[in-house]
Structure 1
Amino acid sequence: MPSSARRPSARGRGQAASRAAIPQLSWRSPQPAPIVLVSGPEEVCAERAIVGVRDYLRAEDASLEVSDLRADDYAPGSLLSLTSPSLFGEPRLVRVSGVEKCSDAFLAEALAYLEAPQEGATVVLRHTGASVRGKKLLEAVRAGTGGGVEVPCPAVKRDSDRYDFAAEEFTSAGRRIAPAALRALVSAFSDDLTELAAACQQLIADVPGDIGEPIVQRYYGGRVETSAFTVADTAIAGRYGDALVALRHALASGADPVPMVAAIASKLRTMARVAGSREPSRALAGRLGLKDWQVDRARRDLSGWSDATLGAAIQAAARADAEVKGASRDAVFSLERLVTVVATRAPYGGR
């Protein structure tokens, strides 16, 4: 850990403020400091980081006192009260939520606290980035006031990032999962990282030994069969009937049209990026920021497509994206029309 974030002990953390930019730590391996800023919108990562800080401190001293504050419903004086040493000098952890909507009283007291953090106290500030509220506080922490560290939890949006997230879940647990099983699992929970994390942990807890695709199908087969990417895969493969059946099954199960359109559009865009390139998969994947298997899959998906039909499908996906986000009163019809255009590779009604 960088020296600016190290502390001599659980009780020796009050340090003069360092004005250098603070260290950034992974949410998978956070460590305490007088101030720990957990920033970014990805809630499952933030929760893991905060639990990690608590566990680290509790391992140092089992008498750790843990308190929670809400920055948006703040009683003046609470921060100083909870961080002040008790009669027996136990270490203190104060978890502050809602910093992105903090009250004026909290903001003023937090800024003052940074100038003189309490010895033996760790304050975790959770800011989702949903607003610029508290910006002055974040800037002060990041400038080194208070001797803190930052744990970034950026949004996980790309397919490759979800794949990496899930892969690391198993690697961290010392478990092996087959690539095909991992892809099936990520596809099944492509729209919810929290559910994906829970599914990974369930497999890790329940399944001894290596995890193969049949195990994923047994646990989450229904989810896999109705996932957005299943609809996208069958439509792109030109299996019109199967695509409509999968679509109706997914909609009947409560699937949202928005991520379903996004899944189709994402695969079409990847196909367009890969089309025409003769580079080896590894080199092309590195240049495009993709995984090798994504390039290989996109190349297989391109079978039977032309530049014209791919361009028309991408245009149809852009139109459907706008319509399911409010430009049309019938999101389901817009989605069905997109599936028809993609699966038939022809203008809607032009088969």
Structure 2
Amino acid sequence: MAAAQNNRAKSVAANTVSWRDASPAAVVLISGPEEYLGIRAMDSIRLKVRTAAPDVEVSKLNAGSYEPGSLSMTVAPSLFGEGKLVEVEGLEAMNDAFLADAMKYLSRPEDDVVLVLRHSGGVRGKKLLDAIKADGWPVVDCQPLKKDADKVSFVVAEFKAGGRRIEGEAVQALVNAVGANLSELAAACNQLIADATTAVDAATVDRYYGGRVEATAFKVADAAMAGNGPLALSTLRHALSTGVDPVPLVAALAAKLRTLAKVAGAKGSSAMIAKSLGMQPWLVEQAQRDVRRWTPEGLIRSIQVIAETDAQVKGLSRDPVYAVEHAVTVIASSARGR
């Protein structure tokens, strides 16, 4: 029995595909909470279906407000014989009628029909999801891109698909500036791809998006980590005077210090370290250059002060502005920069 369960698990894993590889099939499940990736996957399947069959009939259903029998009526063969694409949203809120009709449909899918099902998360409809996976239908995985490394890979892939080059530092600058929201990050990629005539560099990204809160935060962090206290403080004070909240400023400093600490304790080539830490090789090489300015004691002191500052700007201090200024001063003086 254990062997059978293991084989089934392998079969289910083999049917999971990236949102970039989403393709038509008799039944396709788009699963995961990242709405933007779900939209991209759905659009990709629709485009491929229409390319193969321009006269395809497209229908939409909602599993939450579903009326009994609607699915069988929608997938019924057309008088004119054209194929059908049926897109069903809201499986996470499906009612019992949809569950019953969908389970029945899975046992005998119609010819010339592509049924695409969107489930954004939760346990509702688990019976149907398990049946789709057990039957071997493709499952498009749409999980949030939480790590910077995943967002960097996303940007690189967007530029590759758009036929444009982007330099490593420009990728990170773009993620720093607009990476909080994936749809905004994708829109920024599209704009730069459309406007660029040569490879996109960090200066270009700064020209387009340097005024964003996230970008300003990382400018403060970069100056502090380089040991340039006056520049870090002046950039910080300008940011605060224009209404930037101290929390993202502290988050940017913490992110830089975490990267430095990870690389400082790692052994091997930059490629080996990048693979083990899940980072881009160029980012590891940059951190390896930066860490030469630091003593272990200075790095520990900076990590401690940023942890204290994080708590202070989130409610433990009556003067969060002073707390951030103090942290920037300690970090800049701890780095053996200029």
Q: TM-score range by the shorter chain?
A: 0.7 to 0.9
Range with greater deviation from structure 2 (331-340 or 115-124): 331-340
Shift of 1:276: 4.7
Per-residue CA distance 1:6-35 (angstroms, 9 max, x = gap)? xxxxxxxxxxxxx95362233223211111
In 1, the alpha carbon distance for the partners of 2:199 and 2:148 equals 23
Which amino acid is 1:140 matched to? Answer: A
TM-score normalised by length of structure 1: 0.79
Assess, with a 3 A threshold, how the Cα gap between structure 1 residues 75 and 225 changes in structure 2: closer, same or farther.
closer
Q: Name the residue aligned to 1:305.
A: 294
- Find the partner of 2:197 among 208, 214, 239: 208
Q: Name the residue aligned to 2:126.
A: 135
- Give the 5 Å matches for 1:176-187: 176-187=165-176
Which amino acid is 1:281 matched to? Answer: S
Which amino acid is 1:64 matched to? Answer: V
- Find the partner of 2:75 among 73, 78, 83: 83
Contact 1:65/1:90 (CA < 8 Å) preserved in 2?
yes
In 1, the alpha carbon distance for the partners of 2:319 and 2:68 equals 50
Per-residue CA distance 1:272-327 (angstroms, 9 max, x = gap)? 12215553322222232222222222223324433333224334444555566677
- Find the partner of 2:106 among 114, 134, 139: 114
Shift of 1:56: 0.6
Which amino acid is 2:133 matched to? Answer: R
Assess, with a 3 A threshold, how the Cα gap between structure 1 residues 84 and 325 changes in structure 2: closer, same or farther.
farther
**1:169 and 2:161 equivalent?**
no
Range with greater deviation from structure 2 (199-208 or 55-64): 199-208
Assess, with a 3 A threshold, how the Cα gap between structure 1 residues 277 and 122 changes in structure 2: closer, same or farther.
closer
Per-residue CA distance 1:170-211 (angstroms, 9 max, x = gap)? 111222223333332222223222111111111222223433
In 1, the alpha carbon distance for the partners of 2:92 and 2:236 equals 38
- The Cα RMSD (Å) is 3.1
Assess, with a 3 A threshold, how the Cα gap between structure 1 residues 20 and 291 changes in structure 2: closer, same or farther.
closer
Which amino acid is 2:128 matched to? Answer: L
- State the secondary structure of the residue aligned to 1:95: strand
Which amino acid is 1:148 matched to? Answer: W
Contact 1:191/1:259 (CA < 8 Å) preserved in 2?
no
Assess, with a 3 A threshold, how the Cα gap between structure 1 residues 345 and 142 changes in structure 2: closer, same or farther.
same
- State the secondary structure of the residue aligned to 1:63: coil
In 2, the alpha carbon distance for the partners of 1:79 and 1:173 equals 37
**1:73 and 2:65 equivalent?**
yes
Assess, with a 3 A threshold, how the Cα gap between structure 1 residues 210 and 75 changes in structure 2: closer, same or farther.
same
Q: Name the residue aligned to 1:229.
A: 218
In 2, the alpha carbon distance for the partners of 1:257 and 1:103 equals 45
Which amino acid is 1:124 matched to? Answer: V
Contact 2:90/2:118 (CA < 8 Å) preserved in 1?
yes
Which amino acid is 1:143 matched to? Answer: A
More helix by share: 2
Assess, with a 3 A threshold, how the Cα gap between structure 1 residues 333 and 150 changes in structure 2: closer, same or farther.
farther
Q: Name the residue aligned to 1:4.
A: none
In 2, the alpha carbon distance for the partners of 1:103 and 1:305 equals 59
Q: Name the residue aligned to 1:8.
A: none
Q: Percent identity?
A: 49
Which amino acid is 2:52 matched to? Answer: E
Contact 1:68/1:96 (CA < 8 Å) preserved in 2?
yes
Shift of 1:168: 0.9
Contact 2:86/2:114 (CA < 8 Å) preserved in 1?
yes
Q: Name the residue aligned to 1:43.
A: 35
Aligned pair count? Answer: 325
Which amino acid is 1:95 matched to? Answer: E
